[in-house]
Amino acid sequence: MIACCDSRAAPETIFDAGPGELFVLRNVANLVPPYAPDDRHHGTSAALEFAVQSLKVKNIVVMGHGRCGGIHAALNPSAEPLSPGDFIGQWMGLVAPAAEVVASNTLMTPAERQTALERISIRYQIQNLRTFPCVRILEEKGRLALHGAWFDISEGELWVMDAETGDFVRPSLGETL
């Protein structure tokens, strides 16, 4: 489970999971950097590699959420106290291309732009997951599945992404992710 570090969107609580039932990676705005083995620190990449190669997880869920502060920062890059040189400014640069497109849509309200980017970002993160050879190969062999989910904090509802269409829908009661 790749989720945001926002305490309002705790995967263990949302999925009613006990200790050891989920391997959870949390970071600002549930982002996944593209595969880039270099001499830099890559906490998210290391956790992903550990989950796939050592724990042999069968499913990876990228779960975003409503009212995400990181996504808000991506839509408002000049807002204080952030700057392009700050860690968060650099981190949110991972979603900057999508943020620029969404931010330029003047027909949507700010709240609609926020929700749109929260969901679009989930799709981007799934694309980035596929840049990791260990993920791509296992997915191609049918031994790993990638999923998207979005948690509506204000309503307490979990929406799941349809793998074929990319649409987010509320699952029926009893349906599994």
Q: What is the CA radius of gyration of the chain?
A: 16
Binning pLDDT at 50, 70 and 90, where does residue 172 land?
A: confident
**pLDDT above 70 for 93:** yes
pLDDT at position 105 over 90: yes
DSSP-derived pairing of the beta strands 157-161 and 145-152: antiparallel
Report which of 76, 61, 159 is spatially closest to residue 114, judged by C-alpha positions.
76
- Asked if 147 and 163 touch (Cβ cutoff 8 Å), the reply is yes
Domain 2-169 CATH class label: alpha beta
Is the pLDDT confidence value at 28 over 70?
yes
Query: Residue 13: is its pLDDT beyond 90?
Result: yes
Residues 102-114: what's their mean pLDDT? 96
User: Looking at residues 77-102, what average pLDDT do you find?
Assistant: 81
Residue 176, pLDDT above cutoff 90: no
For residue 177, pLDDT over 60 is answered with: no
Pick the closest to residue 20 from 55, 50, 54 (CA basis): 55
pLDDT digit string (tens) for 116-163? 999 999 999 999 999 999 999 999 999 999 999 999 999 999 999 999
Provide the pLDDT for residue 76.
Answer: 87
pLDDT value at residue 83? 61
pLDDT tier at 34, thresholds 50, 70, 90: very high
| Long-range CB contacts (within 8 A, 24+) of 85-91 | 88/28, 91/27, 91/28, 91/29, 91/31
More confident residue, 92 or 81: 92
pLDDT, residue 174, reads 66
